[in-house]
Amino acid sequence: MTAIKGTKSKVLVDEFDFSGDTASVTVTVGMTEEDATTLQATGAEYEPILPSLKIEQNGYLVSGSDMESELYDRLGVAGSYVAALFDTDVVGCPAYIQETFNAQMNIQAPAKSLMTLNGAWGMGRGGHRGIRIFDGVIDATGAQAAVDLGSAGSDGGIAFLFVQAITGSASGAAIKVQSSATEGGTYADEGTFTFSALGAYAVALTGTVNRWLRLNTTGLGGATDFTVVAIVCVNDVTQ
Amino acid sequence: MKYVVTDKGPLDRLPPGTDVTKLYPEATLHRLAKEGYVKTIGKAEKEAKRDSNQGNKIESSGR
């Protein structure tokens, strides 16, 4: 067994990759529980109620970086997509994503050390766990390599696209999420991202999602290329 | 009649052969059967098994 270095992680906030400003990221997945102890029970009994996801990041105040201003702008403002990815050298690495707001910022400026910027994202609207199916530059229409989820899902899910850079300008660029039962089989459309600006986007997936997943760009919207990260979360498979 | 995961699976991390009759609503089972992810093992198959065993019983009766 080879444990993974902490450097093989990423933290994404909408169109920003703050990995280069972040020293550590912590993901806490919790479950609330309620006492369900009954008569004749031999011990306390509890039932799970609702899951929660919390992402915290500790980092540095880097000269010229957007992190301080972007975190401040998101303080208490709902609607940001934050993702923490782990074991990022692996193609289908796990990722935790939530739609949230910045709940806390802590800036420290010690005279004898580096300035630090620590923060915590609010628990927002629940959270998701998925796998990354693409991370790179798309400069032409067509399909990307597929990633194996290991199992089909029967009950939909959700996909996220973090659009980090656009060369030129995109108007109505379209990227589909597709799935197939086999790597070389026929791919069915599961959802389409349509965008014209940087940012993070989500699209719901419904019904059966086959085990092999890929992106297929149907239109660059006039752009030369764009840099994106795509994460797919499938119910009862990844979350 | 029961439904089991086919070789097209795993489905929801359940390996091929898993009995999923009680795991999904009827409408979902029909959809999954149409998509090829589950198949039925029902009355017709049970009768075919029983018929194929009857010959063996007669042979083993020693008459």
DSSP letter, residue A238: T
ipTM of this complex: 0.83
- Chain B, nearest residue to A180 by Cα: B8
What pLDDT, on the 0 to 100 scale, is given for residue B62?
Answer: 47
Q: What's the one-letter identity of residue B48?
A: A
Among A181, A207, A237, the residue with its CB nearest the CB of B12 is A237
pLDDT bucket at A64, cuts 50 / 70 / 90: confident
Chain B residue numbers with beta carbons less than 8 Å from the beta carbon of A237 are: 12-13
Q: What's the CA angle centered on A5, arms A52 and A2, to 5 degrees?
A: 100
Highest mean pLDDT among A73-87, A89-103, A190-204: A190-204
Q: What distance in Å separates the CA atoms of residue A115 and residue A58, rounded to the nearest whole number?
A: 11
The pLDDT tens digits for B3-27 are 999 999 999 999 999 999 999 999 9
pLDDT bucket at A179, cuts 50 / 70 / 90: very high
SS (H, E, C) A31-52: EEEEECCCCCCCCCCEEEEEEE
What pLDDT, on the 0 to 100 scale, is given for residue A30?
Answer: 86
- Chain A, nearest residue to B8 by Cα: A181
Above 60 in pLDDT, residue A232?
yes
Q: In this structure, what token pair is assigned to residue A213?
A: 């997943």
Strand bridging mode A94-100 / A212-219:
unpaired
In chain B, what's the furthest Cα-to-Cα distance?
52
Q: Chain A to chain B, count of Cβ pairs less than 8 Å apart?
A: 36
Above 70 in pLDDT, residue B49?
no
Subunit contact B11:A152, Cβ cutoff 8 A: yes
What pLDDT, on the 0 to 100 scale, is given for residue B60?
Answer: 45
pLDDT bucket at A123, cuts 50 / 70 / 90: confident
Q: B11 vs chain A: nearest CA distance in angstroms?
A: 5
Chain A residue numbers with beta carbons less than 8 Å from the beta carbon of B31 are: 207-208
Chain A residue numbers with beta carbons less than 8 Å from the beta carbon of B8 are: 152, 181
pTM here is: 0.88
Highest mean pLDDT among A34-43, A54-63, A64-73: A34-43
pLDDT bucket at B54, cuts 50 / 70 / 90: low
Q: Identify the weakest region by mean pLDDT among A129-138, A146-155, A188-197, B54-63.
A: B54-63
What is the side-by-side order of every strand in the sheet holding A128-138? A16-17, A9-13, A80-86, A94-100, A128-138, A225-234, A157-167, A199-205
Q: A152 vs chain B: nearest CA distance in angstroms?
A: 5
Q: Which residues of B touch A (CB under 8 A)?
A: 8-14, 24, 28, 31-32, 35-37
Contacts of A121 (CB under 8 A, 6+ apart): A54, A55, A56, A57, A80, A82, A98, A100, A101, A102, A103
Above 80 in pLDDT, residue A126?
no
What pLDDT, on the 0 to 100 scale, is given for residue B61?
Answer: 46
Q: Which of A154, A190, A234 to mutate to test the interface with B (most CBs of B within 10 A)?
A: A154
Among A74, A86, A73, A75, smallest CA distance to A19 is for: A86
Residues in chain A: 239
Under 8 Å between Cβ of A100 and A125:
yes
pLDDT bucket at A2, cuts 50 / 70 / 90: confident
For chain A, give the percent of residues with pLDDT over 90. 77
Q: What distance in Å separates the CA atoms of residue A214 and residue A144, rounded to the nearest whole number?
A: 6
- Chain A, nearest residue to B36 by Cα: A181
Among A155, A208, A237, the residue with its CB nearest the CB of B13 is A237
What pLDDT, on the 0 to 100 scale, is given for residue B52?
Answer: 52
Q: What distance in Å separates the CA atoms of residue A204 and residue A232, rounded to the nearest whole number?
A: 10
What pLDDT, on the 0 to 100 scale, is given for residue B1?
Answer: 83
pLDDT bucket at B42, cuts 50 / 70 / 90: confident
Query: Greater confidence, B46 or A149?
Result: A149
The pLDDT tens digits for A133-157 are 999 999 999 999 999 999 999 999 9
Above 60 in pLDDT, residue A128?
yes
SS (H, E, C) chain B: CEEEECCCCCECCECCCCECCCCCCHHHHHHHHHHCCEEEECHHHHHHHHHHHHHHHHHHCCC
Question: Which residues face A100 on adjacent strands?
Answer: A80
